[in-house]
Structure 1
Amino acid sequence: MRCPRAINGTEPMNAPRTVSPVHLIRSDEEAIAIATDLARDFATTAAARDRDRLLPWEELDRFSASGLWGITVPAEFGGAGVSTVTLARVISILAAADSSLAQIPQNHFYALEILRSGGTPAQQAHFNRLALQGRRFGNAVAEIGRRDFTRATRLIREEGGLVVQGRKFYCTGAIYAHVIPTLAADEDGKQVMVFIPRDSEGITITDDWDGFGQRVTGSGSVAFDRVAVEPDWIVPFQASFERPTPIGPHAQIMHAAIDLGIGQGAFAEMLSFIRDRARPWLDAGVERAQDDPLTLQGVGEVAVRLRAAEALLHRSGRVLDLAIREATEETVADASIAVAAARALTTEAGLLAASKLFELTGTSATLGDEGRDRYWRNVRTHTLHDPVRWKYHAVGNHTLNGVNPPRHGAI
């Protein structure tokens, strides 16, 4: 196991840069076009980053400068306010090229949705402005070793003001972030989200993510040692789930987009390999691998699954947009069920594509230097984020018994 690396606010060499200028994206179509161009470039070096575990600092600066991190900022605050369908497409496009780069902003967009649902107008104006300026929001939500999903991190009132004390794990993107939205329990035991500047005194970030997939997401640990915070950094979190809000399905649809994108990337790699390098099985009686009838059957199976998963993803985005425009018990439940269905199918389609990549190409596709194993490792790791079996349960219980899914902030 590699040795973890610690980063703290006293080491400016390791702190994220603030990029300038940042492009202002003005439409859904422009967001998709820019994501497509970036993905084309990111794909050329994705295997090397994964193989050597090279943290993507330069790529993230280009990503931030592109304006894509600000695409969900509402028009009233100067952003494009793109649809959720577009957000999911942008993420899947990037995930096909480099799934770690696609996952890093997931918590950024999640934090902006929490802000939209529960922040004051002043908070929304401030943090949305930061997003448009290229600031990246990370994540310090989960805690390891707590089977009941409660949080030990506390927001404490001391004589000199408020401080945060605790330790977090699975902090995707925190290493690269300018602001770290942190989940803590206040004095009343209510969970709040505290938008803490990355360079605050008392923060230590440890690069100790050692999973075999999604290797450069920066999903390590963050420790808070009496970190001073301001009241206007605190946004209600638990209260946003005591009423219907689309926060949950909004977080989940981005995960579905990542899984779809990995599957699409694996599928494109498979098609290229079959056309250019694979050999047909001798019993097929054909000269080219692309004429092997069982290879054609396998390719068709993956194509159908991916297209169905994409259709469900886009449908769930449209349903979720309705809930964002008008959040009611019914619209939020419909969005949660639609996204659950998309998550179920994108999980299975992504895993199928990554597995068939090798089954239909042969042993030479496993050569280590070429890095095709990253598709399977990445999709297998990311699809473990939360169990797909519970997505089927939610859909089944709603369909058969009319039971709405629970509202919670699992990301």
Structure 2
Amino acid sequence: MTDISILPEERGAQRFIGRGALLFVLIVGLLPNLFFLVVMPFFIAERLITPLLYVTAAIAALFLPRFAVYALFFIIAVIDLCLIVMVAFHLPLALAIDSVRYMATIDVSASSFYVAVISINLAFALVSAWLFDRNRTEIQLASPLPVLLVALSLMAADFHFNFHYFPKSTSVFDSADSQNGLSTDAVAARGGKLLIVMVEELGAFADPAEKKILSSKLEKAASHAGYAFSSGTTPYSGSTTGAASRELCGRWGDHRDYIAGAHTDNCLPKLLRERGYETVAYHGYTSDMFERHTWYPNIGFSEFHSMETMVRDAPMLAARRCGSVFLGLCDSDVGALVHSRLLEPGDKPKFVYWLTLNSHVPFVAKDRGALGCRTGTSPITNATVCELTELWGDVFDAIAVIAADTRLPPTDILVVGDHHTPLWERAAKDRFTLGLVDWYMLRKAS
């Protein structure tokens, strides 16, 4: 029986301010986003469109069978997580979609942090779906305008807090390789060996004193072994395979461009191989990741030593494992193999490319590291950045040992970061200059 005491205009107002509207706002506008809203001041999770996706799904669910809301909210929670990772690692959408097929090569469950975030996000989404289902009748009577306004407010807050961290377009090409004049002609004219070390997730330190912790390792080796030392920064685009395209092929791109053998005419390994160089690549992870076993030969590497081949050919030296989600060989062990290869005698000059691994986020901190990151006496006050610097320090120590080896024939060494450091913690992320990576050059005196 209709309550005739409620005027039509009052019933209209109830659609916007009544119990149904309030439930719509709480269950769909706030609850699925609550976890990330609470941690927003401390952690970076760029999820600009997610609140609107939940509202859209809820409105659609009102016209679908009751169980549909569970499927829709679950799908959006998964999309939400994927978008967070995509933006954090600065992956273009097409590259992010392509990267899904390599998920079998990693172990997400090895990171308790990742497991916790995934579980909490899915739990909030499914609880929201359950509450929506229970209160469906009242929500159907409500106007979607209030929940839309809440979603737009959350999107505005996300934009305000996180816009600074969004990837910026890089139109003008540059690279550490080009800044240091490492053209094919220049390298061949010097006649010696060339080592390029691509350091996983080494961004550009904002504090020169923190950068000095790493650079001093190379400067000391350079001064003792007759190298000219220099350093600088270069812009990046995309992920690790984008960095390979930048430094090895002189263009913005990624592995998809080279799997089919396209765009390889200007690739340094290919051009040096044509000049009689041995071209050798090392990486302590499975070759299935990004199909490096396919496109490394296409860009000119005559040899590629992945985790599988190093375990087979040097089982004693490649016995240890480091990392968690990206469990592979330890960088210091791969560095020793690179060192040995550079010392091998031969008639041909060598170009060796080493892509490191262990500093990939999420990383595993060292036990009792040299910087004392959790003791309060560290030169880097942010513990996360300090622990990551210790892992980079292992790589720089290995390079310093190579450079200082008096048995080493004349060898130029370029050390460069692949892309920004994708840290979730705001205080840690702010210790790096966005849009740039550091490079270091050791040039042997002629």
Same fold (TM over 0.5): no
**Higher RCO (CA < 8 A, seq sep 6+):** 2
TM-score (structure 1 length as normaliser):
0.23
TM-score (structure 2 length as normaliser):
0.22
